[in-house]
Structure 1
Amino acid sequence: MWGVFSSTFFTILMAEMGDKTQLATMLMSAQSQSPWIVFAGAGAALVSTSLVGVLLGRWLSKHITPKTLNLLGGMLLVSISIMLFWDVLVNS
């Protein structure tokens, strides 16, 4: 149990560090002068999106094999990479 918890915690922590959500939260906190309210709102939003991810992941695990999920996830990431690369080439 603790292995799953810690790997999830550190993976999400590293993925979220310095992303647009954190930057938006910093700006909102600076502008509102209410850091604890911003913290509560941002925390609730992150918990909500995590809940959607967990519920969707649980549903998918009941309908699709792990091998297929890995394949689809890999294909999705490769597709996103190709689209981003194409965007860089076209807009350069």
Structure 2
Amino acid sequence: MEAFLTSTAVVALAEIGDKTMLLAIVLATRFHKPLSIIFGILFATFANHAFAAFVGNSVAGVLDGQWFRYAVGASFIIMAAWTLVPDKLDDDEAKPSRYGAFLTTLVAFFIVEMGDKTQIATIALGAQFNSVLLVTAGTTLGMMIANVPAVYLGDRLVERVPLKFVRTVAAILLLGIGAWVIYETAMS
């Protein structure tokens, strides 16, 4: 259960203000088909994060050791700093294609998520916990927690709550998780 809850929290926090969240807002304002966009996000995230969790889980056995757990903790601290850097959508990413809301979202989210901080977090979580399924389910839920409100509320959400403030809170929480992992490793 710890793998699921930690994965959900880490990715939900890391996703706030991320370019995929901005992409969700752009797609919602262009297509006006929230359910198609949400299902596109769900399937793209599940596929991307299942692969990432599998990679993390696969390398965990090779990299097992206390130094690796310190590296995982440090990766959360780095993610906290990365969260403070605002993401921007490139013009090409902001233009939806003629293939409809679901397919456009599915392809765009899968591609944009490659190498993104939430995918890297999923790899680290897959390495830390010995459950690809729980990590994938948790990180996918975390993405949905962050992106479903973005799809439905879009620009209104960004107007009312400054992203800088939200990113700062998310960064503090990720820093806390990183410090907790390092502390737990030092105490074991």
TM-score for both structures, normalised by structure 1: 0.68
Measured after TM superposition, the shift of residue 4 of structure 1 is 2.2
Residue in 2 that maps onto 1:84: none
Letter of the 1:27 partner, please give it: V
Which structure: greater helix fraction? 1
Distance 1:12 1:72 in 2: 18
Residue in 2 that maps onto 1:3: 2
What stretches of structure 1 move > 3 A for 4+ residues in a row?
66-75
CA RMSD of aligned residues (A): 2.5
Measured after TM superposition, the shift of residue 65 of structure 1 is 2.0
Residue in 1 that maps onto 2:44: 45
Measured after TM superposition, the shift of residue 67 of structure 1 is 3.7
Say yes or no: does 1:63 pair with 2:59.
Answer: no
Count of residues in Structure 1 that have an aligned counterpart in Structure 2: 78
Higher RCO structure (Cα 8 Å, ≥6 apart): 2
Distance 1:50 1:13 in 2: 13
Distance 1:27 1:14 in 2: 20
Q: Flag structure 1 segments of 5+ consecutive residues without an equivalent.
A: 82-92
Larger radius of gyration, structure 1 or 2? 1
Q: Flag structure 2 segments of 5+ consecutive residues without an equivalent.
A: 83-188
Say yes or no: does 1:30 pair with 2:17.
Answer: no
Distance 2:39 2:30 in 1: 16
